[in-house]
């Protein structure tokens, strides 16, 4: 009887170990939940950035003044008759 009780206790401990620390166990489940949460927040940030970029694309498609402003700022575009002045910081 004592041997059977020890065997059952050993099996119970082995099963508990697998439940807590084995593949798909409690510890791994908690780690994966934390990772999912971090990835969800990262996805939310990237979706916000995508919305901002989409708004900028729509603005450039439908607003020629925005295209001109960007060309002036990024490419140094000037109109005929304008004089380009560059101020060099000292």
Q: What is the pTM of this model?
A: 0.57
pLDDT of the residue at 12: 86
Question: Which residues, other chains included, contact 78 with Cβ-Cβ below 8 Å and sequence gap of 6+?
Answer: 72, 84
Q: Which residues form the domain of 35?
A: 2-75
- Residue ranges of alpha helices (H) inside 22-81 are 26-62, 64-75
> Is 80 exceeded by the pLDDT of residue 59?
yes
State mean pLDDT over 58-70.
Answer: 92
Is residue 37 in a domain?
yes
Provide the CA 31 distance to its chain's centre, in angstroms. Answer: 18
State mean pLDDT over 24-42.
Answer: 93
Confidence tier at 53 by pLDDT (50, 70, 90): very high
Number of domains in the chain: 1
Is residue 32 in a domain?
yes
Cα 70-73-79 angle, rounded to 5 deg: 85
Is residue 29 in a domain?
yes
56: left (phi over 0), alpha (psi -120 to 50) or beta: alpha
Distance, CA of 32 to CA of 75 (rounded, Å): 47
State mean pLDDT over 10-21.
Answer: 81
State mean pLDDT over 52-69.
Answer: 93
């Amino acid at each position: 009887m004592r041997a059977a009780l020890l065997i059952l206790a050993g099996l119970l401990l082995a099963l508990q170990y697998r439940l807590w620390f084995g593949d798909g166990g409690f510890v791994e489940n908690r780690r994966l939940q934390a990772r999912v949460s971090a990835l969800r927040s990262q996805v939310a940030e990237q979706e916000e950035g995508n919305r901002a970029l989409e708004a900028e694309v729509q603005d450039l498609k439908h607003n020629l003044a925005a295209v001109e402003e960007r060309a002036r700022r990024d490419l140094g575009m000037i109109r005929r008759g304008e004089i380009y002045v560059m101020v060099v910081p000292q």
